[in-house]
Structure 1
């Protein structure tokens, strides 16, 4: 703004040079700081009022051509500056918020990925009082809850699988034991049958001997 005032003075108050004020205020928008714009508007307002009075007192400074160096003309200039300042303040606030949101999302997504490549869902974006950030954090919280539920279900399923495997092994061992008992019973039965057959043969032989003795005179 001081540079704009210098240009106006060096051009002896040429009205066209006043457009530089609007150009410089637009450039200040790049700072995305409302106070920079407000300060610039206040500085140029003080400059206009002060230089108008100094020029009217023939102090060797210039603001406007002599025929236009009046309070009414200065107020018209001030009105345009105020309107532009209001618009730039609104836009700068929006731009600053968008920048904060973008930075918060960038930092959050960068923090989500650990060095080993795993995802840390316990991270959250910095709250900058924006709906987008609130929604983003809610999604992360929902994902974290879902993953915890799935992990718990997988753990329970693993335990149940281990229990079923243990029960299956126990059942198989019991069946194997029963099979061995059946085999022993079968072997004992077969041996008993063999012994009975031997006894039957022995009894037949004894009977044959006895009969033969009875037949002798």
Structure 2
């Protein structure tokens, strides 16, 4: 597309140059018309109207035909230069070689600068030089033609020197004008290339021959081209990146909202857990108080059992002493029975006199027997009581051991419940801090969700800005790749 655009620009510049040369042709035709008027006036004045009319028609007709058939070309320009100098030669001929009309040569050379090219100037100078040399020699030969009022080759050479000097100077001017025209044409072509197809075509890679201002403009356009390509690339990258950021922020926003909902649920659960742990801590404190009371009661019960054990031991000792006393009574009863038996024997020996004593002895014996039986009953009961006391003492010892174990267990339970209460209090405090942290995290998550929404909106705005930037930069046409 760039090559086609440049070729199209080349064609347009060529057409512009032809149009410029056509304008120069028209100016030269206007000048020829002025020459025709001067020639007719000279013909009337010097009596050569026919020559003036015929020569003017031939020269002007040839110039007009060249313009109509090949206007704007080198052929037309050279034809204009020759015919213009021919009109000057015609005027010199009509004026009989008057020196004043030789100034037309310099005026015509100046007119030829309208082509802004050296070739028509050289052609015109060569044509008038040939005319001067040829007509001077023909005039010297007496053929009725005029170059000067009198033939003189040296004067012709002097005139030729002036013509050469002006021609050289005008060639330099024409070259400068041509260069300026070329720069202008290149500048116009470059501008037309930049603004072709309702876009700004920055691709100048196919443009060659741009010099001067056009070259500087092309260099500037090349730099702008590089910048615009970077901007276009950056706009596309920003568009893609902002689209990815917007999509990522949208996903992050959804996940953050879900996380916020989960944190709210977690915070609610942590509140419930905090209340439950606090209730557990309170219950553990109450259980610790009850366990401490139970441990005290078990300690007091152990003391009472120990007192009972002491009392049982005292009863056991008393029962032993009673058994001893009962054995003494049994021994006394046995001795009394023996004494009564001896008394009865003595009474039987005494006969009638000892009958009353025998009765007393018999009663004493009966009383001794009853005492012995009572002592034996008491001894049996005391033995049973001793056995029961010993069994009770064993039970009391077992009860005391059990109470001591209960007391130790109650103390351990109280210690464990105390530890549980302290742990529950610490857990309650820790859960409270966790609950506070969860609350802060929930707040931060809510803030993050708001920031994510703002970031998503900013990314979407950035994407819109990048799209607008890409749309704005798309007016510049750059090289592919």
Tell me the TM-score range normalised by the shorter chain. Answer: 0.7 to 0.9
Deviations 1:84-138 (A, max 9, x none): 111111111221222222222223223323555x422225795445222221111
Does 1:4 find its partner at 2:88? Answer: yes
Does 1:46 find its partner at 2:130? Answer: yes
**Structure 2 residue aligned with 1:59:** 143
Does 1:76 find its partner at 2:191? Answer: no
Alignment of 1:125-136 (within 5 A): 126-136=207-217
Structure 2: give runs of 5+ residues left out of the alignment: 1-84, 284-481
Summarize the Cα distance change of 1:130–1:181 in structure 2 as closer, same or farther, 3 Å threshold: closer
Output the CA distance in 2 between the equivalents of 1:79 and 1:179. 102
Q: Who wins on radius of gyration, i.e. which is larger?
A: 2
Summarize the Cα distance change of 1:44–1:114 in structure 2 as closer, same or farther, 3 Å threshold: closer
Coordinate RMSD, CA, aligned: 2.8
Give SS of 1:65's match.
coil
Alignment of 1:134-153 (within 5 A): 134-153=215-234
Deviations 1:131-152 (A, max 9, x none): 2222111111110110111222
Cα pair 1:13 1:63 within 8 Å, conserved? yes
**Structure 2 residue aligned with 1:37:** 121
**Structure 2 residue aligned with 1:212:** none
Alignment of 1:1-217 (within 5 A): 1-66=85-150, 69-116=151-198, 118-123=199-204, 126-185=207-266, 190=272
Output the CA distance in 2 between the equivalents of 1:127 and 1:182. 70
Query: Following TM superposition, by how much is the alpha carbon of 1:77 offset from its aligned partner in structure 2, in angstroms?
Result: 0.3
Summarize the Cα distance change of 1:23–1:76 in structure 2 as closer, same or farther, 3 Å threshold: same
Query: Following TM superposition, by how much is the alpha carbon of 1:34 offset from its aligned partner in structure 2, in angstroms?
Result: 1.1
Q: Which has the higher contact order (CA 8 A, sep 6+)?
A: 2
Query: Following TM superposition, by how much is the alpha carbon of 1:163 offset from its aligned partner in structure 2, in angstroms?
Result: 3.3
Cα pair 2:116 2:181 within 8 Å, conserved? no
Summarize the Cα distance change of 1:36–1:163 in structure 2 as closer, same or farther, 3 Å threshold: same
More helix by share: 2
Summarize the Cα distance change of 1:23–1:178 in structure 2 as closer, same or farther, 3 Å threshold: closer
Deviations 1:141-195 (A, max 9, x none): 110110111222233333333333333333333333333334444555649968x
Cα pair 1:101 1:130 within 8 Å, conserved? yes
Cα pair 1:4 1:20 within 8 Å, conserved? yes
Query: Following TM superposition, by how much is the alpha carbon of 1:83 offset from its aligned partner in structure 2, in angstroms?
Result: 0.5
Cα pair 1:34 1:89 within 8 Å, conserved? yes
Instruction: Report the number of matched residues.
Output: 194
Cα pair 1:34 1:93 within 8 Å, conserved? yes
